[in-house]
Chains A and B, each alone.
Chain A
Amino acid sequence: MSTIAERSRRKRATFARGVHPAEHKQLSAEAPVDVLPTPPEVRIALQQHLGAPCKAAVKAKAEVAIGDVVGEADAFVSAPVHASIDGTVVRPATTTLPNGRHVACIPIRAAETQTLAGRALWDDVYGGGWPQDGLDQYEAEAIAAAARSAGLVGMGGAAFPTHVKFAQNPEKPIDTLLVNGCECEPYLTADYRLMLEAPKAIVTGALLARRAVGASDVLIGIEDNKPQAVETLQQAAEGTDVRLEVFKTKYPQGGEKQLLWAALGREVPGGGLPLDVGVVVVNVATAAALARAVLRGKPMTHRIVSVSGAGVQQPKNLLVPIGVSYGELIDYCGGLRPDAARVVAGGPMMGFTLGNLDVPVTKGTSGITVLTQAEVQRRAETTCVRCGRCVDTCPMRLVPTRLALAARANNVGLARRYHAAACMECGCCAYVCPAGLPLVQLIRLAKVMVQ
């Protein structure tokens, strides 16, 4: 049982360095999740996860229902994809993902009538009861198998196949399952609304995930700018041994290495994973999807996406089917404002910009942020004066200005000496640089150089 009163007297745990961008969460934080009306077409990308792409499992003109497998995954590090609407399969095509990759996809044209829509869809995905007892009947292997057949991947953005995370490795036992509810990027509120509106699903999912990895402790991490969510989760976790830990709001508190340090004081070894220190981290949305997969046998077909930013007419949080285009979501929110300057898939610190709104939502899409001209106005680039602000804010303790120099000078030795590969591209360095240097872009080049 968590004791929030006790925790508020202690100093809030946090990690070293990082930045404090303005949060802007109030734009969409109070908007309850709206169910998007079924779109006329969805495109299910056959690669929306880390690992091997899926193979098409349906042919053109086939009739599919919500939840049918449309892409099969043979490899271990892969996850199947399912139809998210009732309809007819159109001939397989290619589509562009937010990160710019062209992948094969299965377009489905919506049927005239849908079996699930509106509030009924919400109830099917997140509503109803989520028991916290009697979960012992599910064995670890069964939970992992359910995760795999449901096509579960990390919904925090990385889209790593969840069942691979659950694979037990006798050499690396897990003692803690950490659930990531931090959502540290400005503007994004998808996880926040899920924590407010379906907290029991998260708790059930967390308990199931703990069984799957064989851990003894389960901990939900959240930032202190979400006090309401802290309360709902605390109530939902009543009667279980799920702990809640509240951290100081700072970017990037939601990065799993920083989260691990703040929560448990453990440092993930360079190039390693949380399982190297006995922890598995899952996002709150993934936990809720796991509960649905195990208890109701339903696959991953829908997710909450927050559409926010000063450049969109009405910021909203939407429950959307996988594969709907970004343009549909923005139109449902009233369209772009005249001063919209950049549409970002994800949050403004690490998200990809889009030049074309015809991009499908994938399992890892947590939000769309539309920024205005005033916000993205970049100051002119001047010379580095070695002020050291990038060094002072880098959460990975690197020297970004030197890495940028190595990239510009094509100096592989220098890049290696300053540990280019350890960069997680969080954007803190470029955010604070007074000279306006494109540090993250240059460090990406340096990372390629040292491979």
Chain B
Amino acid sequence: MSQSKPPEPAEPNASPAILDAVRVAPSPHLSDVLTTRRMMVDVIIALVPAIAVAVWIFRWYAVVQVGLCVLVCLATEAAFCLMRRKPTSVGDYSAVVTGLILGLSLPWSAPWYIAVIGSVAAIGLGKAVFGGLGCNLFNPAMVGRAFVMLSFARELGASAYVDAQSKLEILTQATPLSLAKQFAAQLAEGKVDAELVRAQLQSAESIWNLLAGWVNGSLGETSAVALLIGGLYLCCRRVAAWQIPVGIFAAVLLFAELGYWTNVTLLNSLHHMAAGSLLFGAFFIATDPVSSPLTGMGRFIFGLGIGLAVVVIRLFSGYPEGFMFAVLLMNATVPLINRWTIPRPFGGPLPQRG
């Protein structure tokens, strides 16, 4: 066994000066790099294909509409922060996202005041009065959209999309869904032959046109491919919860196909998926994290509910497209869904103490 001397007693705790700068804090001491702002930037990136198609098809109308919405949303958010005497939250880019989504959900022909009023309603009624980001119950863009939809029914109704004198040929056609609805009404009155109508619909709105976006509609909803690209990007980045689009598509496929086979609708489920704002809504609107459930099972139920509501509104109501109302409806049920889907902890709940 070897023997050795212990070292001379050294100064205790060398470099105490540095310890003054050391902060004491609770664990964990590491964090991942993702921030809320980065999530918003991801949504903006995912919207780029849809914006590009909108500008390509609708030209100047798209630029004005979307730009106006974004600017007014930012201004409204800044104004409300001022009124609430809080530091401005414009830097988290959530108002930009709201503006983009609202702008892309409006028709090309909506006058400038619709964009302005819609944006103010979206940020003011949809977000600020609830307490700002993270506190709102309803999707702010859809609150704004519903507000102007109900207030300016003529400017935002189905007929507003069609301008027979327009130089852009696309704008002279009716939107796919309103076309389908017109034909369905005529069929019900027995004015036309079912086979003839189906053949006309298939050619007028072939699935290729729907995929590429060569159809009339609101600014962002036209190209299925552009929306799919953006939507998949969001799901892969885990910014959009995948359970919501999956639930929506499952419900739409099921119920739209049911409607097709019972002749309530003239479009089969695939057409229903690609037409209208279903893809846009499923990936960008319904997946707004603040107004959707917290748990995986809850999100799936939320998606199923939206899908069912969309099909019901499309088939049975006076509106050709109903995504906005479907989302607002299910937003209202989110607190209940959250309560019903509290997950069972790993190993089961702890026994209650006496």
Contact = CB atoms under 8 A, between A and B. Distances in A.
Nearest to A387: B289
A21 interface: yes
A328 to B, nearest CB: 8
Interface residues of B, number: 59
B345 A386 contact: no
A271 B345 CA distance: 11
Contacts of A433: 31
Contacts of B348: 267, 269-270
Contact of B30 (A119, A349, A441): A349
A371 B238 CA distance: 29
B133 A383 contact: yes
Given A331-B10, A358-B13, A386-B294, A436 B31 contact: yes
B30 A385 contact: no
Given A270-B348, A270-B350, A440 B30 contact: no
B4 A358 contact: no
Contacts of B28: 348-350, 427, 430-431, 440
Interface stretch (A139-147, A163-171, A334-342): A334-342
B92 A382 contact: yes
B190 interface: no
A113 B18 contact: no
Contacts of A383: 132-135
A232 B252 CA distance: 57
Interface string A346-390: 001111111111100000000001010001101100111111110
A385 B29 contact: no
B318 interface: no
B29 A349 contact: yes
Contacts of B292: 386
Given A270-B351, A401-B294, A117 B2 contact: yes
B349 A270 contact: yes
Contacts of A41: 9
Interface stretch (A25-33, A192-200, A233-241, A415-423): A415-423
Interface in B327-354: 338, 342-351
A350 B27 contact: yes
A344 B28 CA distance: 10
A379 B13 contact: no
A399 B347 contact: no
Contacts of A19: 32
Contacts, number: 225
Interface string B1-36: 111111111101111001101111111111110111
A417 B9 CA distance: 56
Contact size range, A = 35 or more
Contact of A371 (B10, B21, B29, B134): B29
B241 to A, nearest CB: 6
A115 B29 contact: no
A120 B1 contact: yes
B93 to A, nearest CB: 12
B23 A267 contact: no
Contacts of A387: 36, 39, 239, 289
Contact of A338 (B3, B18, B343, B350): B18
A353 B14 contact: no
A115 B5 CA distance: 10
Contact of B345 (A261, A338, A398): A398
B317 interface: no
A215 interface: no
Given A270-B345, A325-B12, A389-B238, A384 B134 contact: yes
Contacts of A431: 28, 30-32
A402 interface: yes
A432 B14 contact: no
Contacts of B1: 115-116, 120
B290 A268 contact: no
A118 interface: yes
A117 B3 CA distance: 7
A343 interface: yes
B66 to A, nearest CB: 23
Nearest to B241: A388
Nearest to A119: B2
A354 B18 CA distance: 13
Contacts of A389: 34, 238
Contacts of A441: 26
A118 B29 contact: no
B38 interface: yes
B295 interface: yes
A278 to B, nearest CB: 15
Contacts of A327: 12-14
B6 A112 contact: yes
Interface in B118-168: 132-135
Residue of A19, A39, A383, A401 with most partner-chain B CB within 10 A = A383
A271 B348 CA distance: 9
A434 B34 contact: yes
A353 B35 contact: no
A316 to B, nearest CB: 16
A114 interface: yes
Nearest to B89: A382
Contacts of B7: 37-40
A358 B12 contact: yes
A395 interface: yes
Contacts of A425: 27
Contacts of B21: 341
Interface of B: 1-10, 12-15, 18-19, 21-32, 34-36, 38-39, 92, 132-135, 238-239, 241, 289-290, 292, 294-296, 299, 338, 342-351
5 contacts: A113-B4, A269-B348, A342-B29, A396-B345, A419-B349
Closest 8 A/B residue pairs (Cβ): A427-B28, A383-B134, A327-B13, A271-B350, A422-B345, A40-B9, A38-B6, A270-B350
Given A354-B22, A441-B26, 4 more contacts: A270-B350, A379-B31, A391-B343, A402-B294
